[in-house]
Structure 1
């Protein structure tokens, strides 16, 4: 049971911090300047004719 306790403590502390930082990073990446143009360009790829 010692492994379970250690992993539970890690998930409760550092795991939560890692997920929070990842979420903030994704939000900042999506809202970065110039992101709209690249997103629109990527969204129109399937509609382009060869």
Structure 2
């Protein structure tokens, strides 16, 4: 397989299935915070930096 043929094959894949795969991953990551239990995890992540704030008093 020549370099040009390999390039054309990979470009066709990226234009079709690769784009669909990236779109699916993007939509999954956008929906991730709205899954059940997401509020608890988001709250824990938002307050994590304050966990050790009162330990030295």
The TM-score with structure 1 as length reference comes to 0.83
Bigger Rg, which one: 2
Normalising by structure 2, we get a TM-score of: 0.75
Q: 1:18 aligns to what? A: 21
Which 4+ stretches in 1 moved above 2 angstroms? none
Deviation at 1:33, TM superposition (A): 2.3
Structural RMSD (CA): 1.2
Separation in 1, partners of 2:26, 2:33: 11
Q: Deviations over 1:9-29 (max 9, x none)?
A: 000001000001101111221
Alignment length, in residue pairs?
A: 50
